[in-house]
A and B are shown apart, each in its own frame.
Chain A
């Protein structure tokens, strides 16, 4: 089950409101663009920062500003080996999700050992 903390819930609501405004202005392409910005640029690094001691606001901002340069690089690098760019982007995103998942488990193990 995915648990979303109160702070993240507030960010999620804000994103939905912004996406709704984009929908009102541009229809479905506008809505999808805002969701795309969130999923492609903010989410990947956010998953990596999940278990750091930073607060939610820091995580969100750092993720967005680092992700806008680093996620496309990851997609481009995967595309060196995978012929389809679309598939490469999906695989890059999956890579970040997996890295976030394992980072959590590794840090949990380390905490237990301590």
Chain B
């Protein structure tokens, strides 16, 4: 394969550039990153540019609560604080109650951002957005290193409008996403290592260029970095680690077949051992966190031909966990992007056969094969499909890369067949890039902006009244207070209890006191201080609904308020509430709880 793979790994996208041009391309890369960063920062922070209260589903509140506790207590414990530990009480079968569900880095990062940012919500939410749109830069890095800044920029721009990544981030599953976004960088490091290894092998280990490029065993710095990045992914979320491992394994096999040699020799075996031991040292203390949870217990191989013939994940299989748009191909790739995508895939296949030094193309093919394997882990391991759905972002990275590469490959291929002048090919490339840029912006900007501006607006997010109640009153209750939020029957088909779930969890996070409704009896018996049980009646949202100009909303608010009032009267008639302000009332449960079943029946 000659020096092509290594020159690509060294950042020479086109080859033959003079020093002045190389400097310009580097500066161009920095400018491209800055532009992508500013676009992503602006768009992805739209949900909290005006309303700076936190938002997201229960997961978002859960992650916030742990990081917030580290910052406020100035201590990063291995065990969860009481009010978080009760939430998924006894979830980990190995580590038991109050065990963490993630290794420390995610939540330590939240705490670091609160401390460094000097404010409770905004710096942490900026981190949440940043750690979610990092995929833009990971793909920019991968594509620009291998194929040039132009295609890298276009691929990154496409990702900044990705609905899948935005929804994952909005819902609060950002730690899984952050681990997954590292995959392009990890696999690039692995690509660079294998490319240099086989390059050195082909050259017989003779120093072909620099002292590092030609050394036997390849450039080991890339090997160490690949393992360090794997460690980083493992610490953030297991899914990113799995994704990188699968793609690296597929690419290793592809290169081993191509060169008819495994990438192992006496010269690199020590480096492999050192890197693997370092990874094991970092990972071992946290293995029980992942393997003690029910989510990692797959049901084993379950053959299903229709499923194997399907590329992605169907909306039916994630119903109740994600909206259909999350997995739908058409929601992610607009119809005007499809010609670019199909051209990219077709040209990738063509280049695999026509380009002699095709390691980069083999790498992209490995991404596609790896993505297929990852998206079918339900078949191979029995993994849960809604969990797998998050890994669909790996497909985005491959497809947006191919979409962007089509603008470079189409003119290049036509030019080599028709022997066109270089300037004509170049003009065609930039014209196509302009068309793709227009398609991306016209398709993505408006939709993304509207979607993110509207995210968790109005009553969908914790309101200032509720936040003030949580931080001003609930936070002063005893540390082991148990605050119950009543379950209301569905009125007019509106599932109020489900709708209120995330809000209730945000009240928990902000107050640092347990607020919930669905604690199993055995947990309650073990953890509740029976003299510190409280009942919450929050009419503040319902009052807003009842004063709405929309008749339907008004009736719904009044009906729900009436249902809640019935429970309140039944339980606390003639009792003075501890708190009564802004349509929120809190009562101490009238008697020591003898039996949690009685309490649950009452609520």
Binding site for B on A (CB under 8 A): 6-7, 10-11, 13-14, 17-18, 21-22, 25-26, 28-30, 32-37, 39-41, 45, 52-58, 61-62, 64-70, 72-73, 75-76, 79, 83-86, 88-89
Contacts and interface: CB of A to CB of B under 8 A. Distances in A.
Which of A18, A61, A69, A70 has the most C-beta atoms of chain B within 10 angstroms of its own C-beta? A69
Contacts of A7: 26
Contact of A54 (B117, B118, B138, B221): B221
Among all A-B residue pairs, the 6 with the closest Cβ atoms: A69-B232, A36-B116, A72-B108, A72-B105, A33-B123, A14-B34
Interface in B61-89: 70-71, 73-76
A20 to B, nearest CB: 10
Interface of B: 10-11, 23, 26-27, 29-31, 33-34, 37-38, 41-42, 45, 49, 70-71, 73-76, 103-106, 108-109, 111-113, 115-119, 122-123, 126-127, 130-131, 134, 137-138, 141, 145, 178-179, 182, 185-186, 189, 210, 212, 219, 221, 225, 228-229, 231-236, 282
A68 B117 contact: no
A65 B108 contact: no
Contacts, number: 171
Interface of A (DSSP majority class): helix
A102 B236 CA distance: 29
Nearest to A18: B37
A29 B118 contact: yes
Contacts of A69: 105, 179, 182, 231-236
Given A22-B41, A55-B11, A33 B104 contact: no
Nearest to A89: B112
Nearest to A87: B74
Contacts of B189: 62
A110 to B, nearest CB: 13
A36 B75 contact: no
Contacts of A70: 105, 228, 231-232, 235, 282
A29 B211 CA distance: 46
Nearest to A17: B34
Nearest to B49: A25
A34 B109 contact: no
A73 B112 CA distance: 12
Given A26-B126, A33-B116, A61 B185 contact: yes
B109 A68 contact: yes
A7 B137 CA distance: 18
A85 B116 CA distance: 12
Nearest to B186: A65
B45 A40 contact: no
